[in-house]
Structure 1
Amino acid sequence: MVPHLVTALNGPINELEARILESMPAIERWFRLEWMEHTPPFYSSVDVRNAGFKLAPVDTNLYPGGWNNLTPEMLPLAVQAAMAAIEKICPEAKNLLLIPEKHTRNPFYLLNVARLQEIFTLAGLNVRLGTLDPAIDKPTPVALPDGSELLMEPLVRTQRRLGLKGFDPCTILLNNDLSAGIPGMLEDLHEQYLLPPLHAGWAVRRKTNHFQSYEEVAKKFAKLLGMDPWLINPMYTQCGKVNFGEGDGIECIKSNAEALIAKIRRKYKEYGINEKPFVIVKADNGTYGMGIMTVRDPKELDELNRRTRNKMSVVKDGQEVSEVIIQEGVPTYERMNDAVAEPVVYMMDRYVVGGFYRVHADRGIDENLNAPGAQFVPLAFAESHHLPRVGAKPGQSAPNRFYMYGVIARLAMLAASYELEATDPDAEVYD
């Protein structure tokens, strides 16, 4: 099932699609050369927005938690990608320890953990689940909505290694984004591979670093295709000292939002786009769709009500928001049964393995869709008939659109690899 795109068929996106398809060999070679120089994140997911005049990533998750939303058809590709990823890191790997989020009551998240366990089991590993939840002090079965269950076990830490009772893993895979901080139990593990690395967690990571890296990637890619990088890159700025509860830093957000909206307006004029520009203000280290608001007019920031202030004050695990990224708003004109939709692309290692549409009937084209009430409609990017159809008219072929989404998502994944290299605390610094 493919949403329809509520935009004119002669818009800039169709020109971009045509250019991407005709440049496909050059694009794939460019990616190959980049991956010779850079290490992809172990796994990732990217939220993409298609405005018809612009196609851009708006968020990149390095601890994707929606593997259950992908179709069974994508499983073989995910397993192959998992094998490739593990072979590069620890070819002799036998045991994999998977550490999920602590909030194990969310049934959909638990189905995601079960799917990850299945993928890595099929990739030839013994997979067991260790929890950071101190309340679990013995192996504890957790029921799943489909009638099956997961076995959560308490972690066992020795001086240099982390495992479970009677289980010593070569590789530890985090599906916990460390929003609440880095547990001491995960530090100083010099004999095991911890994936993703600790500095990929939200205790350290910042969205502004990511989009700075993405801007660099977008410029390189745009040069390859001879196009304006703005067509695939959301502009942004940031405010570093904010307290929504006290009202501190609101003036910084307001002035930056005004300046960014003016820049967007100039771009719209350049391309003849008859739209009202807006920005998205979000926590610089936020996740789960928390700490996000749409600003259509900076004057709105003078009138923030208590509910909005409270919503913006804290993100996951009760972490206070003190830094925000102000990002160019990219409207989405994808529709599914008249509800607003956006594609989310899932990747393992450097491969696109699947994706789904996030659909929200109660949200507008300029709002965050990652909110309660969202539905997920899977699509399998990996099916053979979803390979791009060369020669199809732009805007007419779902496989071509999926290929284009995969290209944009891989650009964001490459940006994440630049970002992790730049922020690696163990990297050697050369003058």
Structure 2
Amino acid sequence: MPHLTTAMVGPLHELEQQMLSHQARIEHWFRCQWRATPPPFYASVDLRNAGFKLAPVDTNLFPAGFNNLGAEFHPLCVAAIQNYIARTNPGLERLLLIPESHTRNLFYLENVFQLKRLLELAGLDVRVGSLSPEVSAPTAFELPSGNRLVQEPLVREGRRLRTDGFEPELILLNNDLSGGRPEILENLEQPIAPPLLAGWSTRRKSMHFAHYRAAAKELAALLEIDAWAIDPEFRKCDRIDFMKKSGLDCLVKNVDETLDIIREKYREHGVTRDPFVVVKADAGTYGMGIMMVKSGEELRDLNRKQRTKMATVKEGASVSDVIIQEGVFTFETIEGAVAEPVVYMIDSQVVGGFYRVHTQRTDEENLNAPGMHFEPLAFAQSCVLPNPQGQPDDCPNRFYAYGVIARLALVAAARELAEMHKAQPF
């Protein structure tokens, strides 16, 4: 169990106690949400625990760390996959998994191998089809673990996608479409999960956190707590050009307004640290295009290296829209190194997670950066089975709280996708 290195644990204990006291109502609320808006196939949520605040800072609908889940989580993953199949397509046999085109990133391919294995353990016939032009024939990748992953080229015939001799009934994306929506995947007869509109070519973080805010208010009312304790403040700016320094007035104004709101909340809750905000691309992942600031004026004085870092994200996509998000401290440490929990879900179930740990970063910084490593959560059942007889911050109860907030982000993602589908149903 990582150590929570802050004196401000009172509010967290109160939040955890409220969750324990209202567990039946919480679970009933979630069941009602899934009936109204079914969850996507899978998701991962990055959380930050500041003692006085526990909130998500990112929700990924194409999680890429299944190799970081401990083996004790695998039965939960398999059961959740089977539940998803039973709910959406009971007769499903053949699945095509389409990963990122990272043919040289062996750590990512370990994730693909593990995800494929979990799908097979759930009773599916699985092939891996690649969008990469480097994969023009079945290609085997030898992985550091000693495992071997075969990727095959994709073949499109009419409105159906297959690999040589294998025609899937479902296409599962583990590719976040940062580079756009490939034409080969458009207008297929076979269902795609998550849908194409869940990719970063369409999706926006500001939209997600708007839905999260609404869901957080509902849960906060149920728990009789201040919604701010689980909801990061945010703003959005568009038409930004970091290289030309245009649109900075919007950024400076919104950064300062956000900081003013946080300062007022800090005074209300007795927090003595200086607040900060995170400025990041409104679309994208992999920890790119992110900056922490404590005043709007800092953004006027960026050097060329800093502006270049903010101007592009994964696959060279340019940044014009940004989200200004309340910075949440991470006061959890493992052997002195700062850590943040990452919770994984399949269908509506929490299936495990791990801590992202960085020995060279502070409690204010982004930990999704080179030099990070991962530590599994302590117990396979801890995110789903709290111990009402234990202390609020005992392992099962702390991790149950993490699972509640992660599922709250999943509710937001489900609502977000439903709204997007209404606007562009393809």
Alignment TM-score > 0.5, same fold: yes
Question: What does 1:199-218 align with in structure 2 at a 5 Å threshold?
Answer: 199-218=197-216
Aligned-partner residue type, residue 145 of structure 2 = D
Mapped contact 1:331–1:365 kept (Cα < 8 A)? yes
> How many residues align structurally?
425
Question: What does 1:79-94 align with in structure 2 at a 5 Å threshold?
Answer: 79-94=78-93
- Return the offset for 1:394: 2.5
- Give ranges in structure 1 of 5+ residues lacking alignment: none
- Return the offset for 1:297: 2.1
Please point out which of 382, 386, 409 is paired with 1:388.
386
**3-state SS in 1 of match to 2:206:** helix
Separation (CA, whole Å) in 2 of partners of 1:270 and 1:8: 16
Aligned-partner residue type, residue 40 of structure 2 = P
Aligned-partner residue type, residue 163 of structure 1 = R
- Return the offset for 1:381: 4.9
- Return the offset for 1:88: 2.0
Mapped contact 2:48–2:54 kept (Cα < 8 A)? yes
Mapped contact 2:281–2:289 kept (Cα < 8 A)? yes
- Return the offset for 1:390: 0.8
2:27 maps to 28
1:135 maps to 134
Mapped contact 1:355–1:380 kept (Cα < 8 A)? no
- Return the offset for 1:416: 0.2
2:225 maps to 227
Aligned-partner residue type, residue 133 of structure 2 = P
Separation (CA, whole Å) in 2 of partners of 1:26 and 1:194: 33
Question: What does 1:88-127 align with in structure 2 at a 5 Å threshold?
Answer: 88-127=87-126
**3-state SS in 2 of match to 1:424:** helix
Separation (CA, whole Å) in 1 of partners of 2:166 and 2:336: 50
Please point out which of 281, 284, 298 is paired with 1:283.
281
- Return the offset for 1:67: 0.4
Mapped contact 1:17–1:400 kept (Cα < 8 A)? yes
Please point out which of 241, 244, 247 is paired with 2:242.
244
Structure 1 segments, 4+ long, off by >6 Å, are none
- Give ranges in structure 2 of 5+ residues lacking alignment: none
Answer yes or no: is 1:421 the counterpart of 2:418: yes
Question: What does 1:58-77 align with in structure 2 at a 5 Å threshold?
Answer: 58-77=57-76
Separation (CA, whole Å) in 2 of partners of 1:383 and 1:14: 20
Please point out which of 399, 404, 408 is paired with 1:402.
399
Separation (CA, whole Å) in 2 of partners of 1:329 and 1:381: 28
**3-state SS in 1 of match to 2:360:** coil
Per-residue CA distance 1:88-108 (angstroms, 9 max, x = gap): 222111110000000121111
Mapped contact 1:101–1:175 kept (Cα < 8 A)? yes
Mapped contact 1:70–1:355 kept (Cα < 8 A)? yes
Separation (CA, whole Å) in 2 of partners of 1:87 and 1:298: 50
Mapped contact 1:340–1:365 kept (Cα < 8 A)? yes
Per-residue CA distance 1:28-54 (angstroms, 9 max, x = gap): 111111111111011000000000000
Answer yes or no: is 1:258 the counterpart of 2:256: yes
Separation (CA, whole Å) in 2 of partners of 1:137 and 1:164: 11
Aligned-partner residue type, residue 132 of structure 1 = L
Per-residue CA distance 1:58-98 (angstroms, 9 max, x = gap): 00000000000000111011001011112222211111000
2:51 maps to 52
Q: CA RMSD in A?
A: 1.3
Per-residue CA distance 1:284-303 (angstroms, 9 max, x = gap): 00200000000112221121
Mapped contact 1:130–1:164 kept (Cα < 8 A)? yes
| Identity percentage of aligned residues | 54
